[in-house]
Structure 1
């Protein structure tokens, strides 16, 4: 349901060695909401998303998804949270279509073939469906990573700089897709350098600086 909190971060602190990165970060993200985290390189955006995705444990504070600890190894968490956090890990011996079909079937999608065809079209990959991922350009590889999050069900989508390597047309289409996902009840958390993408997605914009989240100007 729209407005129901799915993801909560409470007083999260984290650092590497003596360098603090997150200093008391709190965030609540509900169904039907999009939150975009902006900030310069090195501000801690990727760290924040990895912690939200249950891939890294914070030094202090709590991270919960549907009131249970966020843990990417948990079956329920994996079933409901889709992530694209940097260059995708693809199966080198599977074509683009085969890779997406495997993702869809692994998540029990009943109309997997149709869903994969739709994702290929949405992400401008239809003409590259029989290529292997290593043969794709950086931009098409990014679109494959994003397509992999679309062929499976997800209540929460976490994306780290999803606009990387994409041209203006692809960024505009991405913003529209994220807005539509939220309208359908999903929650989206993304880190981005592109304020226009955040605006197209209908996102609440936050700025991460000095380890703290604040409303973006």
Structure 2
């Protein structure tokens, strides 16, 4: 199970956080808090720094300035507490080349002590339309199937915080809708979700709050954000 959070602190919190490379920020700094039961979306044009910011918020990249905390403590990606609390789907594929689709999911389920891991694997294979590819190796999967496997690997395990970098990419319209519903189910059950997205419909269906990333990084209302993305 995920660690018990420090109830006096937000689940995830940043203070004047600047994300970038070689000491240079790529976007405006961000001060924000994210509690359980919320989905926060990062939006903005290509190249504005969404992926860099989401990597920094989730502890995969060191900040240029400012701070980010998980359950009141500095984010430490390699720590046991972090690995128990955070499920992440990055913008790039990452697999063990010799493990099949089903074996990837079973390893994740067992590693996180999921009750009845075989049943959990079956559920995720069905939900993400991968049942027919259970015995396929990663290089035998299509681009969309690999994306769905990454998502299944995140949803099969317990988490307090889910981090998704453009989760809608390579998914068809129907699967995007189902994924948005799945996100809302986990948020309504008390988890927090941090995501970056380019899809206005997906944003409107999944997010409670939005941050526009750019030279100034500011929070905007979801309705306003969806309108900006559709324009």
> Given that residues 37 and 191 in structure 2 are in contact (C-alpha distance below 8 angstroms), is that contact kept between their aligned partners in structure 1?
yes
Cα distance between partner residues in 2 of 1:188 and 1:62: 19
Deviations 1:120-165 (A, max 9, x none): 1111111111111111111111000000001111010000000011
Q: Partner of 2:228 in structure 1?
A: none
Q: Offset at 1:20?
A: 2.6
After superposition, residues 51-200 of structure 1 pair within 5 angstroms as 51-200=56-205
**More displaced, 15-24 or 88-97?**
15-24
The residue that corresponds to 1:11 in the other structure is: 16
SS in 2 for 1:182: helix
**1:209 deviation in Å?**
1.4
Cα-Cα RMSD: 1.8
Q: What are the ranges of 5 or more consecutive residues in structure 2 without an aligned counterpart?
A: 225-231
Which has the higher mean CA deviation after the structures are superposed, 107-116 or 184-193? Answer: 107-116
Contact 1:11 1:23 in 2 (8 A): no
Q: Write the distance in 1 (CA, Å) between the matches of 2:87 and 2:52.
A: 17
How far off is 1:19 after superposition?
4.8
TM-score normalised by L of structure 1: 0.94
Separation of aligned partners in 1, 2:210 and 2:30: 15
User: Residue 166 of structure 1: CA displacement?
Assistant: 0.6
Query: What's the offset of the Cα at 1:202?
Result: 3.9
Count of residues in correspondence between the two structures: 217
Comparing 86-95 with 18-27, which one deviates more in the overlay?
Answer: 18-27
CA contact (8 A) 2:26 2:48 kept: yes
> Can you list the C-alpha shifts for 1:72-110, whole angstroms capped at 9, x where unaligned?
111101111000011231111111000110011111212
CA contact (8 A) 2:40 2:210 kept: yes
Which blocks of at least 5 consecutive residues in structure 1 are unaligned? Answer: none
Deviations 1:163-205 (A, max 9, x none): 0111100100111101111011100000000111011114312
Hey, which of these two has a bigger chunk of strand by percent?
1
Q: Secondary structure at the match of 2:26?
A: strand
8 Å Cα contact 2:23/2:64 also seen in 1? no
Q: For residue 211 of structure 1, report the CA deviation from its aligned partner.
A: 4.5
Distance (Å, rounded) in 1 between the aligned partners of 2:69 and 2:22: 25
